[in-house]
């Protein structure tokens, strides 16, 4: 009986033109965003006439793959030394390659590796002042830079410093470089797609209870044999099934397109080549992709359950939709107008804290933010995931309770 009721509820929701538009829009966005990531991949070179030529899209990806192939694999300190030697132009052949052919492919690596070497003022050290001994001690320099950064950020919290260093010690060395996903904007677009799916499905879920309040249909339905608790569960499961199906299909389409074009093997690259070599997370690009999608999905469901709870308390669909959009954007608004430990706690604990435009699980995972609580601290990605995992069942329970107590 429950399955039949869920099927009827989903059929009723699909009868709405708004539902069809939202789901179609989500599907189109997943394809368009995947193609956008590919389109904005570029490669520039200088032709025989000395003119700069710029190619984009699939051709640029293939060209970059071919150019970077000799430098893929584990970046041992000997290979890092070679990268700096080439870009210093220590011999005539390298100088010609850099200045006459439009740049050596190792410059892509240099942009990441260079971040470790700084002068006394914290500015990047000139390439000419990075000798072979510095290059050979790259990983030691990197760990020292991470420790110094954490110590400067949390000078009065030795426990946080210890926790950060413990996380950093799990980073696998030497780093692995594989051109592809880690060198694109794909990780950011995974987050953006997640945000858009949260907003679209929140609008979809917002009228589940309030629309029946508004039309008066609920007054009749709750008096039937399957009213109240059973009906509330039917609506909740219908909303979660529709939202889950939308998220799964759209995210799968995006990832299959992007990973296939850039190469599934490129997911083996160390995450440190996506954002910064001083990133604490001991993950590959593929690991970050899986975690971003998995935690994003939990946060997505947490937000949907929160919107259902709001819908069970509001009397009109319009109010539910407005509140849904407000709470989707709230973590980003709070984090953009203020900073500090309390703001971070609030942003991480909000239902949409893991999928915000300026505050998200991905940004926290690639950062060094610890939320302080007395003498201790918690790495913000852990807080986001645990909060979303607790809020998901909590909001669903409250939804049933509020609906059963609702009075016309």
- Considering the domain architecture, whether residues 133 and 197 belong to the same structural domain is answered as no
32 and 59 share one domain: no
- Confidence (pLDDT) at 97: 43
Q: Which distant-in-sequence residues (6+ apart) come within 8 Å of 211 by Cβ?
A: 317
Question: Domain check: are 233 and 345 in the same one?
Answer: yes
Among 101, 123, 158, give the residue marking a domain's end.
158
Identify the pLDDT of residue 1.
62
Q: Is residue 83 part of a domain?
A: yes
Q: Does residue 173 form part of some domain? A: no
- The answer to whether 178 and 72 have CB atoms below 8 angstroms apart is yes
CA–CA distance, 106 with 67 (Å, rounded to integer): 9
* Range with the largest mean pLDDT of 28-37, 203-212, 318-327, 350-359: 28-37
Which residues are CB-contacts of 140 (< 8 A; sequence separation ≥ 6)?
A: none
Q: How many residues does the chain have?
A: 408
**Average pLDDT, integer, range 79-83:** 85
Question: pTM (2 decimals)?
Answer: 0.87
Q: Could you tell me if 200 and 300 lie in one domain?
A: yes
Query: Does 171 fall in a domain?
Result: no
- Residue 176 placed within a domain: no
| In a shared domain, residues 210 and 247 | yes
Structurally, the chain folds into a number of domains equal to 2
Q: How confident is the model at residue 376 (pLDDT cuts 50, 70, 90)?
A: confident
What number is the average pLDDT over the span 11-37? Answer: 91
| pLDDT cut 90: percent of the chain above it | 38
Torsional class of 89: left (φ above 0), alpha (ψ -120 to 50), beta (otherwise): left
Q: Which residue has the higher pLDDT, 399 or 328?
A: 399
Residue 98: the pLDDT is: 40
- Give the whole-number percent of the chain exceeding pLDDT 70: 90
pLDDT reading at 213 higher than 90: no
Cα 259 to Cα 267: distance, rounded to the nearest angstrom: 8
Residues 149 and 58 occupy one common structural domain: yes
Domain shared by 200 and 214, yes or no = yes
Same-domain pairing of 115 and 229:
no
- Look at 300 and 68; give whichever has higher pLDDT: 300
Domain region containing 382: 2-39+181-405
pLDDT at 339: 79
Whole-angstrom Cα distance, residue 64 to residue 75?
18
For residues 135 and 109, membership in a common domain is answered with yes
What's the whole-number average pLDDT of the chain? 85
pLDDT for the residue 227: 60
pLDDT digits (tens, 9 = 90+) for 152-176: 889 888 899 999 999 999 999 899 9
Say yes or no: 347 and 386 in one domain: yes
Rg (CA), the chain: 25
Residues 230, 107 share a domain: no
Q: How confident is the model at residue 335 (pLDDT cuts 50, 70, 90)?
A: confident
Within a domain: 169: no
- pLDDT classification of 99: cutoffs 50, 70, 90: very low
pLDDT at 93: 44
Most confident of 2-16, 69-83, 85-99, 242-256: 242-256
Query: Does residue 294 fall inside a structural domain?
Result: yes
Asked if residue 164 belongs to a domain, the reply is no
The answer to whether residue 128 is domain-embedded is yes
Final residue of a structural domain among 97, 127, 158 = 158
Q: What is the pLDDT of residue 102?
A: 43
What are the pLDDT digits (tens) for 222-269?
Answer: 666 656 788 888 889 999 999 999 999 999 999 999 999 999 999 999
Helix (H/G/I), strand (E/B), else coil: 117: coil
The enclosing H or E element of 227 equals: none
């Amino acid at each position: 009986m429950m399955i039949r009721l869920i099927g009827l509820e989903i059929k009723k929701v699909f009868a709405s033109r708004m539902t069809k538009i939202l789901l179609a829009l989500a599907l189109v966005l997943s394809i368009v965003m995947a193609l956008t990531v590919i389109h904005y991949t570029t490669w520039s070179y200088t032709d025989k006439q000395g003119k700069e030529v710029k190619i984009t899209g699939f051709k640029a990806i293939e060209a970059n793959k071919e150019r970077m192939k000799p430098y893929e694999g584990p970046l041992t300190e000997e290979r890092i030394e070679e990268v700096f030697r080439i870009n210093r132009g220590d011999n005539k052949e390298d100088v010609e390659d850099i200045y006459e052919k439009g740049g050596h492919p190792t410059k892509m690596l240099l942009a990441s590796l260079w971040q470790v070497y700084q002068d006394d003022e914290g500015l990047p050290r000139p390439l000419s002042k990075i000798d072979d001994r510095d290059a050979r001690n790259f990983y030691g320099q990197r760990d020292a830079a991470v420790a110094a950064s954490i110590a400067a950020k949390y000078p009065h919290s030795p426990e946080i410093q210890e926790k950060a260093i413990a996380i950093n010690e799990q980073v696998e060395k030497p780093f692995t470089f594989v051109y592809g996903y880690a060198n694109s904007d794909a990780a950011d677009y995974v987050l953006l797609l997640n945000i858009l799916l949260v907003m679209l499905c929140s609008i979809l879920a917002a009228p589940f209870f309030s629309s029946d309040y508004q039309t008066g249909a609920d007054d009749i339905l709750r008096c039937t044999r399957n009213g109240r608790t059973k009906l509330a569960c039917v609506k909740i499961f219908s909303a979660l099934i529709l939202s889950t199906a939308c998220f799964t299909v759209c995210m799968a389409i995006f990832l299959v397109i992007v990973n296939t074009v850039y190469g599934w093997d490129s997911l083996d690259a160390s995450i440190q080549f996506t954002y910064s070599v001083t990133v604490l997370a001991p993950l590959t690009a593929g690991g970050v992709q899986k975690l971003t999608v998995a935690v994003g999905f939990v946060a997505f469901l947490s937000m949907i359950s929160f919107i259902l709870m709001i819908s069970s308390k509001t009397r009109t669909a319009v109010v539910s939709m407005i509140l849904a959009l407000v709470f989707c954007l709230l973590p980003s608004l709070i984090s953009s107008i203020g900073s500090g430990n309390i703001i971070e706690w609030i942003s991480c604990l909000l239902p949409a804290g893991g999928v915000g435009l300026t505050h998200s699980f991905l940004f926290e995972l690639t950062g060094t933010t610890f939320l302080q609580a007395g003498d201790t601290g918690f790495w913000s990605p852990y807080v986001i995931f645990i909060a979303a995992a607790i809020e998901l069942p909590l909001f669903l329970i409250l939804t049933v309770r509020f609906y059963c107590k609702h009075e016309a």
